[in-house]
A and B are shown apart, each in its own frame.
Chain A
Amino acid sequence: MTAIRDSYSAPAKLGHWLVALLLVVTYGVAWTMVDLRISPTKLRLYNYHKWIGVTIFALVVLRVVWRRLRRPPPWPPQMPAWQRQAAEIVHRLLYLLLFALPLSGWLMSSAQGFQTVYLGRWPIPDAIGKHAALGTALTSVHVALTWLLLALVAAHVLAALKHQFVDRDGMLWRMLPRRRRAPQEKP
């Protein structure tokens, strides 16, 4: 099977792995903070969680803009049509959720009366006013979306592993830092 030579551009790779890293951190922070009793630590973690969410949102905006400027490499020719469609759908949904999660978090915070102040310094305006019932509803939306994103990330990771270890088509290398090519690999 022919190995894939095309690779994602360096900014695309950086954006991908930064978002991946921040997602792992922010999920960890989220699962820790919700179970804590009310304390300064809890408030601190909530703020960190919100700041990371804002950062992810900004990075995903940049990634989408970059994706328009520099198209991702094409699918390998041997990849079946249904897999391409499935990959397209999962990728679109991943982007959609990476926008929707920070947005729902921002709205739920506003409704609960806690403005988002990025890094404790830059206030992000509230789109909606304080409203306890709406805050509870938006919290449910935010939590539901976290599970949906987790499921999509799982599908994404499993698909990447399948390409790497079952199909052995080298798809994963497209998203990994470029290795210095050894001289004998030259065509």
Chain B
Amino acid sequence: MNRIAMLIAFGLLFGTAMVHAAPRPLIADKSRITFSVKEMGVSVSGRFSRFDAAIDLDPAKPETSSATLSVDIASLTTGNADADTIALDAPWLDQRAFPKATFVSSAVERSGDDRYTVRGTLTIRGKARAIVVPLTAAAQTDRGLVVRGGFTIRRSDFAIGGGEWNESGVVADEVPVSFELTLGAPH
């Protein structure tokens, strides 16, 4: 009886594993998410240093791939203390009320050799918006993947930096975001 239960358990486990590709571990120190905000022609760049990702991109079966990312808003740095303070403050990313930004993929399709188009939902400041993210995934010799891509968000879509910051035209609405994620071999 026990053996049968174990067999069923194993069967379920492996069965699930075969349907869903195993997620690849994120190698944090070789991954980065950066953005740049433009004020009167001046691009001020910044990055998020802490984020988690569960990505199971399978180049053989891109349609079964999925990606979930969670970014720790408090980990934002621009290299300028004043700029960091503004970015985390209530009118901007409001780190206290919304400590995480997330991305959850809904569809992954291959658009070229190493190129993919990922559709999904980006949630910042509690506001969810559908986005399309083009990316490249370069296979590494250790069976890992280096995923690079970028997209541009509009601050106004997420109510980032409202009020005077939207009226004055000093700070551009578009904020380009780019990322480079190093993923290990699937477990």
Binding site for B on A (CB under 8 A): 38-41, 43-44, 47, 112-117, 119-121, 123, 130-132, 135
Q: Quick check: which of B1-9, B38-46, B136-144 contacts chain A, the rest being far away? A: B38-46
User: Is there contact, CB below 8 Å, between B44 and A132?
Assistant: no
User: Is there contact, CB below 8 Å, between A47 and B42?
Assistant: yes
Of A44, A47, A116, A119, the residue contacting B168 (CB under 8 A) is A44
User: Is there contact, CB below 8 Å, between B43 and A40?
Assistant: no
Consensus secondary structure, chain B interface: mixed
Given contacts A44-B40, A47-B40, A130-B79, contact A113 B45 (CB under 8 A): yes
**B163, chain A: closest CB distance, angstroms:** 10
**A72, chain B: closest CB distance, angstroms:** 38
Distance of A131 Cα from B81 Cα, bound (Å):
11
Distance of A121 Cα from B80 Cα, bound (Å):
23
Distance of A25 Cα from B168 Cα, bound (Å):
22
Interface size class of B (residues with CB under 8 A): 20 to 34
Given contacts A38-B86, A40-B171, A113-B83, contact A121 B78 (CB under 8 A): no
Given contacts A117-B40, A117-B42, contact A39 B164 (CB under 8 A): yes
Of B40, B80, B164, B165, the residue contacting A113 (CB under 8 A) is B80
**CB-based closest 7 A-B pairs:** A40-B168, A120-B41, A117-B41, A40-B170, A130-B79, A113-B79, A120-B40
Name the residue of chain A whose CB is nearest to the CB of B39: A43
Q: Could you say which residues of chain A place their CB within 8 Å of the CB of B113?
A: none
**Interface flag for B82 (CB, 8 Å):** yes
Q: Could you say which residues of chain A place their CB within 8 Å of the CB of B45?
A: 113
A113-B78, A117-B40 provided; 6 other pairs, C-beta below 8 A? A40-B171, A43-B39, A47-B42, A113-B79, A116-B42, A117-B41
Q: Could you say which residues of chain A place their CB within 8 Å of the CB of B171?
A: 40, 43
Q: Could you say which residues of chain B place their CB within 8 Å of the CB of A113?
A: 44-45, 78-80, 83
With most chain B CB atoms within 10 A of its CB, the pick from A38, A114, A123, A130 is: A114
Q: Could you say which residues of chain A place their CB within 8 Å of the CB of B39?
A: 43, 47
Q: Could you say which residues of chain A place their CB within 8 Å of the CB of B79?
A: 112-113, 130-132
Name the residue of chain A whose CB is nearest to the CB of B161: A40
Q: Could you say which residues of chain B place their CB within 8 Å of the CB of A117?
A: 40-42
Given contacts A47-B42, A121-B41, contact A38 B82 (CB under 8 A): yes
Q: Could you say which residues of chain B place their CB within 8 Å of the CB of A40?
A: 164-165, 167-168, 170-171
User: Is there contact, CB below 8 Å, between B42 and A115?
Assistant: yes
Name the residue of chain A whose CB is nearest to the CB of B171: A40
With most chain B CB atoms within 10 A of its CB, the pick from A113, A123, A130 is: A113
Name the residue of chain B whose CB is nearest to the CB of A38: B86
